[in-house]
Amino acid sequence: MTDKIIFERKVNYYETDKMGIVHHSNYIRYMEEARIDFLEKAGISYIGMEQMGIQIPVLSVTAEYKIPLKFGDVFKIECSVKKFNGVKFEIAYKFYKDDVLTSTAESSHCFVGEGFKPIRIKKYNPAVYDKFIEYMEEK
C-alpha cells in the first residue's frame, strides 16, 4: 500500500455542543473534508470528475466515538480505501489527537453518471480506477 494520507484540522468553537465536545453531526463534515483532501492528494480531482459528469454520492455512514474532541483540539484523520469494486467503494477514517485514536468511521459511496445511474469508473476514467486500487488497505 502507498503511504498514508493524513488530513489535519482544528476544532472550531461553533462545532461543539453544550457539553463542550464536538457535536456528532460535525464528524460527517470532517469525513467529507478528509475524503476530498484524500482524493486530491491521491491525484484524483473531485472537480475534474464532476466536470466529466461523474458524481460520488454517499450511500451510508457509520462512526464510533472513543474519546471526545473539544474546542481548540488539533486532530488528524487517516483515510484509506477499505473496499472498491469499480462501482462502489468504502472509505475508512481513523481520527487521532496526539497520536491517540479518538474515533473510527466509514462511508460508502458509488460512482454515478448522467441520470444518476451507477457507472463503472474504469470505463469512464481508468486513471481514477488505478488510484483507488493503489490506495486500498488490502489488495
Catalytic residues: 17
* Closest C-alpha among 48, 64, 47 to residue 106: 64
Q: How far apart are CA 94 and CA 29, in angstroms?
A: 14
Q: How far apart are CA 105 and CA 79, in angstroms?
A: 10
